[in-house]
């Protein structure tokens, strides 16, 4: 259920907005004071904010700017004056919509719904995007935990994948076997640094065309390994 915060000093208007939004299935909280509203807005999580412009304490301009600094959820500004709406649009405070009083509560509900579904669509798109590393024909999909070399998928074990990904994320950085062992195997008591050597060998067998001349993971004699850039 989406949670909405209304900051509005006219109690009747705030209650009316709340009633309509609750009827549409939203969870709604009200603050009548700007200062308190700002505090609540920043300290708690809401999915959308409805801010009146003229408020005792902090005004709608200030609250909007401060919320936008920290959060990217929709903000609807409400004002009694058409002129103010033009002014706040011009200021580019980062509000998503502006409504002039008096407005019909169903109009408000419709706009709230539109902004929430738009926001969810955008947020959802971000989640769907996989985290991918691509270097000279080697492609590592961190989200799906899959690896390809020149479009051909390679099957890596969990630790092989973790080790390869760690090295690829730190290209041109030489790691000792001890460092790699403690990073990848963490607190596991099984195995020792020879495990690292074995895994590097296995990874090379899977991703290198010529194991004698590895083009991805380089051995730095007497030190450790480095992912070539």
Minimal distance, residue 60 CB to Ca ion, in Å:
8
Task: Count other C-beta atoms under 10 Å from residue 205's C-beta.
Answer: 11
Minimal distance, residue 31 CB to Ca ion, in Å:
12
The kind and range of the H/E element at 108 are helix 105-128
**Residues near 60 by beta carbon (within 8 Å), at least 6 away in sequence:** 7, 34, 51, 52, 53, 54, 77, 78, 79, 88
Residue among 91 and 132 whose Cβ is closer to Ca ion: 91
Residue among 37 and 224 whose Cβ is closer to Ca ion: 37
Minimal distance, residue 126 CB to Ca ion, in Å:
35
Minimal distance, residue 92 CB to Ca ion, in Å:
22
E strand intervals along 8-90: 27-31, 48-52, 75-79
Minimal distance, residue 78 CB to Ca ion, in Å:
8
- CB-based closest residue to Ca ion: 54
The answer to whether residues 47 and 5 touch, using CB atoms and an 8 Å cutoff, is no
Residue among 29 and 33 whose Cβ is closer to Ca ion: 33
Residues that bind Ca ion (CB under 5 A): 9, 52, 54
DSSP 110-148: HHHHHHHHHHHHHHHHHHHS--EEEETTEEEETTTTEEE
How far does Cα 79 stand from its chain's mean position?
31
Residue among 78 and 203 whose Cβ is closer to Ca ion: 78
Q: In angstroms, rounded to a whole number, what is the distance separating the alpha carbons of residues 143 and 127? A: 10
Residue among 7 and 163 whose Cβ is closer to Ca ion: 7
């Amino acid at each position: 259920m989406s949670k909405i915060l209304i900051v509005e000093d006219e109690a009747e208007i705030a209650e009316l907005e709340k009633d309509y939004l609750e009827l549409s299935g939203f969870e709604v909280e009200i603050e009548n004071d700007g200062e308190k509203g700002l505090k609540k807005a920043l300290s708690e999580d809401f999915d959308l904010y409805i801010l009146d412009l003229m408020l005792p304490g902090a005004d709608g301009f200030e609250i909007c700017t401060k919320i936008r600094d920290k959060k990217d959820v929709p903000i609807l500004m409400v004002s009694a004056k058409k002129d103010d709406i033009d002014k706040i649009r011009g200021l580019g405070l980062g509000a998503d919509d502006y409504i002039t009083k008096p407005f019909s509560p169903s109009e408000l509900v419709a706009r709230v719904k539109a902004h929430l579904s738009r926001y969810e669509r955008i947020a959802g798109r971000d989640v769907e995007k996989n985290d991918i590393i691509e270097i000279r024909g080697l492609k590592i999909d961190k989200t799906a935990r899959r690896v390809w070399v020149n479009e051909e998928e390679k099957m890596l074990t969990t630790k092989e994948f973790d080790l390869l990904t760690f090295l690829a994320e730190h290209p041109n950085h030489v790691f000792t076997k001890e460092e790699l062992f403690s990073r990848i195997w963490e607190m596991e008591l099984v195995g020792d640094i020879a495990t690292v050597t074995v895994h590097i060998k296995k990874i090379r067998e899977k991703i290198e065309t010529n194991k004698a001349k590895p083009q991805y993971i380089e051995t730095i004699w007497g030190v450790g390994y480095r992912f070539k850039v």
